[in-house]
Amino acid sequence: MRLSLWRRYSFPASHRLFRAEWSAEQNDRIFGKCANPYSHGHNYELEVAVTGPVDPATGMIANLADLDSFVQRKVLDAFDHAYMNEQIPEFRECVPTTENVCRVIFQRLAGFPRAHIEGVRIEETGKNSFEYAAPSNP
Ligand code: NI
């Protein structure tokens, strides 16, 4: 039997999709309005999945308070109201598409000591969501 816990968080953040080494025309062709130099924001909905044995004493995979404080410290403290291109070091050389935001957030959470981080899912808008699944499970 496999049991997962999904927990939902949200944070507003802004980004600009562009590559400095590309011309304005090329950025515009690839990224469209998302290359706007003044950036734009989203209310990101982040879901984090953890899995592992259910502790027979507590009946839990992981204590939500432990997960919440870990996500707060590793992700939300940095991402909440951030301009990701400049305030998140991982995006200094990497375009902050939501695909890449998924990957970066997963990497930041991978060391959770209480359970295995199975994946993260991020909803960028009502139409777009992205999921990063851990490469292998214990
Ligand atoms: Ni965007």
Ligand 1 midpoint to CA 27 (Å): 14
The number of domains in the chain is 1
Residue range of the domain that includes 34: 4-133
Strand ranges in the chain using DSSP code E only, listed in sequence order: 4-15, 40-51, 82-83, 116-123, 129-133
Q: Any idea which residues carry the catalytic annotation?
A: 34, 81, 124
Q: What is the pLDDT of residues 9-19, one digit of tens each?
A: 999 999 999 99
Q: Is residue 72 part of a domain?
A: yes
Extended beta strands in 17-101, E state: 40-51, 82-83
> pLDDT tens digits, residue range 63-86?
999 999 999 999 999 999 999 999
In a domain, 52, yes or no: yes
Q: Does 68 map to a domain?
A: yes
Q: Is residue 138 part of a domain?
A: no
Residue located via tokens 């959470």: 109
Q: With 0.85 as the threshold, say if the pTM is over it.
A: yes
Is 49 a domain residue? yes
- pLDDT tens by residue, the chain, 138 residues: 789 999 999 999 999 999 999 999 999 999 999 999 999 999 999 999 999 999 999 999 999 999 999 999 999 999 999 999 999 999 999 999 999 999 999 999 999 999 999 999 999 999 999 999 987 655
